[in-house]
């Protein structure tokens, strides 16, 4: 499963990119607003830092402007993925951009039939929001599993990008459910390393090594 980072903070991405484990980045209007950056400037810098797919979201509410925004974002860098909402207009723009060869990430997916429509519109990625479903008393992982079955049934190439992951358990369960990718805030990415037995084991090893009085170098 590929791992994307959900942030527009370049400083955080520089640290995480150094791990060699980051496959891409997702952003949204809220993250851009939080960063205080101009969207084109931020996306260009992120695209130069991370060679994988970088999702940049168009925000207009009418077809012509949303399509124009998508085309503008796609020209920023070759690894931009235009992010669009799962609405009738959003899917129309998705179809237009996909037909032009522009990759699209359809976001704010909360049902399997929405995911079906996005795949039919040519979406490169579908972003089901598992954490928000859990917050609403539903099972986010059930949605991932349902989409996986539907896409496999019909040979859709749209990739399932598990979004709104809140914990390392979400990441594990998304991988088990067959998600192609997951997008994580930096704190959740860093939590993937953590286990109390790893920490305790390392502590014991280091204490025993110190007793030997040796140096490897």
Catalytic residue numbers read 83
Q: How far apart are CA 16 and CA 9, in angstroms?
A: 11
Closest CA to 146 of 115, 118, 106: 115
The DSSP secondary structure of 191-214, one letter per residue, reads: HTT--HHHHHHHHHHHHHHHHHT-
Q: Which residues pair with 162 in a beta bridge?
A: 182
Long-range Cβ contacts of 12-20 (<8 Å, 24+ apart): 12/186, 13/46, 13/49, 13/50, 14/49, 16/186, 16/189, 17/49, 17/50
Of 156, 181, 158, 157, the closest CA to residue 171 belongs to 181
| DSSP-assigned beta bridge partners for residue 81 | 55
**Could you tell me where the beta strands, DSSP code E, fall in the chain?**
2-6, 24-26, 54-57, 80-85, 104-109, 125-128, 159-162, 181-184
Sign of torsion, CA 61 100 98 6? negative
């Amino acid at each position: 499963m590929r791992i994307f980072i959900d942030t527009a903070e370049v400083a955080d991405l520089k640290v995480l990119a150094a791990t060699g484990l980051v496959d891409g980045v997702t952003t949204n209007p809220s993250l851009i607003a939080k960063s205080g950056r101009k969207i084109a400037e931020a996306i260009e810098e992120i695209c130069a830092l991370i060679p994988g797919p970088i999702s940049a979201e168009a925000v207009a509410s009418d077809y012509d402007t949303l399509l124009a925004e998508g085309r503008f974002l796609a020209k920023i860098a070759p690894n931009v993925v235009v992010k669009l909402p799962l609405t009738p207009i959003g899917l129309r723009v998705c179809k237009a951009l996909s037909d032009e060869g522009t990759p699209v990430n359809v976001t704010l997916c909360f049902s399997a039939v929405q995911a079906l429509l996005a795949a039919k519109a040519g979406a490169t990625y579908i972003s089901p929001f598992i954490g928000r479903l859990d917050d609403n008393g539903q099972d986010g992982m059930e949605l991932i599993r349902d989409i996986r079955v539907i896409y496999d049934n019909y040979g859709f190439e749209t990739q399932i990008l598990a979004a709104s992951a809140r914990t390392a358990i979400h990441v594990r369960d998304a991988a088990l459910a067959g998600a192609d990718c997951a997008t994580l805030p930096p704190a959740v990415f860093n939590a993937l390393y953590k286990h109390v037995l790893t920490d305790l084991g390392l502590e014991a090893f280091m204490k025993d090594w110190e007793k030997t009085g040796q140096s490897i170098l």
